[in-house]
Amino acid sequence: MAERTSRSRRAARPTDMTNTRTTNDDLDAGIATLATELRAHALAADALDETRFARLRDCVATRALERGLADVAIACHDSPLGRIVLGATESGLVRVGLPVESEDAVLDELAARVSPRVLRAPRTVLDDARRQLDEYFAGRRHEFALALDWRLTASSASPSTKGRGRDGRPRPATGFRHAVLCATAAIPFGSTATYREIAARAGSPAAHRATGSALASNPLPIVVPCHRVLPSGGGVGQYRGGTEAKTRLLALEGAV
Amino acid sequence: MPSRTRSRAAALALPPFERVLEEHGRAVLRFCVAEAGPQRGEDCFQETILAALDGYATLRDAGAVRGWLLTIAARKVVDQHRARERAPEPVADVDVHATAGTEPAHDGALWARVARLPEKQRRAVTLRYGGDLSHREIAVVMETSEDAARRNVFEGLARLRKELAGG
């Protein structure tokens, strides 16, 4: 076995057969080859061990949840719109990432704004959310019954610009954003409302633009149905998940 | 906007732990199995990840996360060895894992030979080529100088090379 390995190494380096370099050079060359082989074997073993790694990852995730070490549990869910990323804290569902958002960006956002201890882990509310999403897309569910964590409703600006919009003007208070999302959550399946109506229901009839921006950063799309809010001038308007997704959701509900 | 949020987050904050596990978890598992055998290595791996999660917020330099994880793993391996010395495994258990100490961590005779190297050389070679660590990182994990780390790797390779050439 050793002889065979040795020969195959020489074959890979034909100059070794004929050169007259010192033993040290030969040793160095042999060691370099050996190093490459060790690395290659390790990577090949990784490929073989992928199922083992996956199994241990699941074990660790469950234990981490039990010990309260996974602040944000995440799960992916394949929906008719594409792959949805779900995030949940101990308090409830905190984020629904639509297919148009990159999974990496959603995870980065959760790490920066909730906790870096983000882990793919089997939190119950995630299973519930996945099941309810399936039922919703199958037309069998008209409202979601899930514990929600609203903390990402707050402005997403970095601390230095907190409270101010890109144009330097003060952002609407978190309370207003929350009121907008609550008013939105109350729109029944199959109906729609305009931005103006939602602004009024949230207590500031004149703030329909701020209503638009609150809905554009809705951390819980679909579950908090911001797709049911339309411009009064017609059309479906903007959507965090893309206009196409908004149209499909409204069509699914028979609202357009 | 998502890309802006991302670059800002990546520059200032720790990455989501899930990504750390995806990028470095396999190297940690490989190291644990090479050092503690297949069965105990899996336990070490789990303990390492749980300890890393627990202390993740204390990590100052996200760029050094690989060396940091393997330092924790090295500590867990030592704990494991100590626990084993204090409480030898029951006979029945030993039968099940009879090969734990000598079984190769990786398929192939090459890594089986690594497993039989003297301890420091074995650990250095495993960290270098199994964990893909730099000599500086190995020095941190093994609590030696960088020169000593380099020497341990080299001597381990030289020994392997001699064995392979001499049969």
The confidence band for A41, taking pLDDT boundaries of 50, 70 and 90, is confident
Q: Per CATH, is A154-256 categorized as 1.10.10.10? A: yes
Backbone phi and psi for residue A149, each to the nearest 5 degrees, phi listed first? -105, 115
CATH code, B104-167? 1.10.10.10
CATH code of the region A65-149: 3.30.160.70
The complex's ipTM works out to 0.79
Active site residues of A: 226
Query: What is residue B104's predicted lDDT score, i.e. its pLDDT?
Result: 41
Instruction: Dump pLDDT digits (tens) for A112-171.
Output: 999 999 999 999 999 999 999 999 999 999 999 999 999 998 765 444 344 444 444 444
Distance from CA of B65 to the nearest CA of A (A): 13
CB of B129 within 8 Å of a chain A CB? The answer is yes
A135: its two tokens: 């039922």
Which CATH number is associated with domain B14-103? 1.10.1740
Of A2, A41, A72, Cβ closest to residue B108: A41
Are B8 and A158 a contacting pair at CB < 8 A?
yes
CB of B14 within 8 Å of a chain A CB? The answer is yes
Cβ–Cβ contact B29 with A under 8 A: yes
Cβ neighbours of A3 in B, within 8 Å: 167
Given an 8 Å threshold on Cβ–Cβ distance, is B29 in contact with A53? yes
What is the H or E stretch that residue A117 is in? none
* Mean local confidence (pLDDT), A79-85: 96
List, by residue range, all CATH 1.10.1740 domains of chain B. Answer: 14-103
Three-state secondary structure string covering chain B: CHHHHHHHHHHHCCCCHHHHHHHHHHHHHHHHHHHHCHHHHHHHHHHHHHHHHHHHHHCCCHHHHHHHHHHHHHHHHHHHHHHHHHCCCCHHHHHHCCCCCCCCCCCCHHHHHHHCCCHHHHHHHHHHHHCCCCHHHHHHHHCCCHHHHHHHHHHHHHHHHHHHHHC
The first and second tokens of residue A95, run together, are: 């984020």
| Stated pTM of the model | 0.78
Instruction: Give the span between the Cα atoms of A216 and A204, in whole angstroms.
Output: 17
d(CA A71, CA A64): 9
pLDDT digits (tens, 9 = 90+) for B40-54: 999 999 999 999 999
Percent of chain A scoring above 90 in pLDDT: 65
Contact state of B30 with A45 under an 8 Å Cβ cutoff: yes
pLDDT at B83: 81
Q: Minimal Cα–Cα distance from A141 to chain B, Å? A: 31
| Interchain CB distance below 8 Å, B50 and A64 | yes
